[in-house]
Amino acid sequence: RQALTSAPRRVVSLIPSITEILFAIGAGDRVVGCTVYCTEPAEGVATKTRVGGEKNPRLELIRDLGADLVIVNVEENVREHVETLRSWGIPVYVVFPRTVADGIRLIGELGALLDAGPQAHEIETALRARYDEVRAAAPAHRPRRVFCPIWRKPYMTINRDTYIHDMLTVAGGQNVFAEAEKRYPEVTLDAVATAGAEVILLPDEPYRFRRVHQADFAPYPDLPAVRDGRIHLVDGKLLSWYGPRIAEALRVLPPLFA
């Protein structure tokens, strides 16, 4: 692995939430390339070179951009691409936040890496305070049994070994498929009914759930979430994007489990 001798000046981000973090900590001017899925902040990424998707980035273009750092995620990106970039002498920083606390801590780590420490520290400190506040309030409420799919046809969800699971937990939910063997198990709606979900969250990414999909659960009128009208459409970024987005997540999600 290549050691960084100075703060990188030409950064390529292959993760949308990381791109948002880089702008938030004041390092947006260092970003020379990002993926086609990097949408935030809209005005910031509008002028950046698009290098492809997470799974199929144009490695030669990244090299031609003169990147002196590429930031990737263990799950979203491809190991072979990391190895190729490193073989060309391009440093690659690999992240893999598994919890909300990890996602908050990552802001400070990126701030140190990019010599943007003060702004990163300010954001990290504010998020940590909000996180502690939400955690402290949690014992006052019984965790609500929650089903949060990430895909449809087939329905897929998440087990406990995921960032989304931890976000649900911190916000006051109890993931009904936490103990599934696979990280992203396929499930039937019969199984959701059996699990007794009290709240159902339908995010708009990675699958674009819409109001019409609430009808999928109509055959289960006795399911608490259906009976009590607690099927909510939510911004998927709140569940899966780490970084400054966590502030909004910890404001919007807890009331859904109250």
CB 71 within 8 A of CB 93: yes
pLDDT digits 0-9 by tens, 12-30: 999 999 999 999 999 999 9
For the entire predicted model, the pTM comes to: 0.92
Signed CA dihedral, 70, 74, 77, 81: sign only: positive
Query: What distance in Å separates the CA atoms of residue 135 and residue 169, rounded to the nearest whole number?
Result: 9
pLDDT digits 0-9 by tens, 201-252: 999 999 999 999 999 999 999 999 999 999 999 999 999 999 899 999 999 9
CB 241 within 8 A of CB 21: no
